[in-house]
Amino acid sequence: MIQDRWTSGDLTFDVRVGGPADGDPVILLHGFPQNAAEWDAVSERLNAAGYRTYAPDQRGYSPDARPDDVTAYGIDHLVADVLSLLDHLGLASAHVVGHDWGAIVAWHLTARHPDRVRTLTALSVGHPRGFVTALRSDPDQRKKSSYIYFFRRRWIAERALLALDARLLRRVFAGSGLSKEAVDVYVRPLRKRGALTAALNWYRAMRARDSLNAEPVRVPTTYVWSDGDTALGRSAAEATGTYVESDYTFVELEGLTHWLPDQAPERIAEIIRERVSAPVR
């Protein structure tokens, strides 16, 4: 695994690169409150299978790609960042994998630019339109998503999450089985000045109309959901297939929580390999 960087406009991003240079390219997009390190164990397995992986620290997570304006974290910018990575790499298209917020970016990217996405593998978060519809109609999903309203409260959320050695931020990983050292890999960077605010700005910039206007995706897609996910409920998960107009696989993992790449890297790598190597139907 090597560290690389690319520049888009006045922002410079960090990206972890692994695998043979001529391997099929796989873009891995992380979620909150993690960073590209969440893909390390998955990448190792994909690299061993011959795939070239690129896991960027996305906007707000790369220290030199951290604009101040909340609107700079809207979905249009987040999608454009991935396109700029593809352009930097000289790739017309790639397989795209996303977890949590990375899955949201991946869904929008795939819907808007199907020519740049060979296959999509989304973990935990389903199609944005299905999620927002569930949020409006399903009491269970509203309860699971109540944390979003807290995250959108400027300064209050930062102070609460970082107080007492970031105790509340660390509690996000409760039940994951991650060691303190593993959690520190995610929490430590967010304790630096401005980092957590930038990460939370993804929530503050989100608009329901962006999700409601999200088009169906038209590339081969796998969606992975776990029955122990405390943030994403079954109704949104099962609705996702409605918004895929191509070969579609829904994988339900039992006994796991939201943190799938950390908890089950071998299984997640296997699911990704199955998707990217499947014949187009």
What local confidence, expressed as pLDDT, does residue 281 receive?
54
* DSSP code, position 93: -
82: left (phi over 0), alpha (psi -120 to 50) or beta: alpha
- Overall number of domains in the chain: 1
The rounded distance, in Å, linking the Cα atoms of 179 and 185 is: 10
227 DSSP assignment = T
* Per-residue confidence (pLDDT) for residue 278, from 0 to 100: 80
CA distances to 26, 175, 187, 205 from 53, rounded to whole Å, are 5, 28, 24, 28
Say what the pLDDT of residue 280 is.
62
Q: Which helix (H) or strand (E) holds 131?
A: helix 128-137
Q: What is the pLDDT of residue 1?
A: 82
* Per-residue pLDDT, 145: 94
Per-residue pLDDT of the chain (281 residues; tens, 9 = 90+): 899 999 999 999 999 999 999 999 999 999 999 999 999 999 999 999 999 999 999 999 999 999 999 999 999 999 999 999 999 999 999 999 999 999 999 999 999 999 999 999 999 999 999 999 998 889 999 999 999 999 999 999 999 999 999 999 999 999 999 999 999 999 999 999 999 999 999 999 999 999 999 999 999 999 999 999 999 999 999 999 999 999 999 999 999 999 999 999 999 999 999 999 987 65
Domain limits for position 111: 2-277
The domain that contains 52 carries what CATH number? Answer: 3.40.50.1820
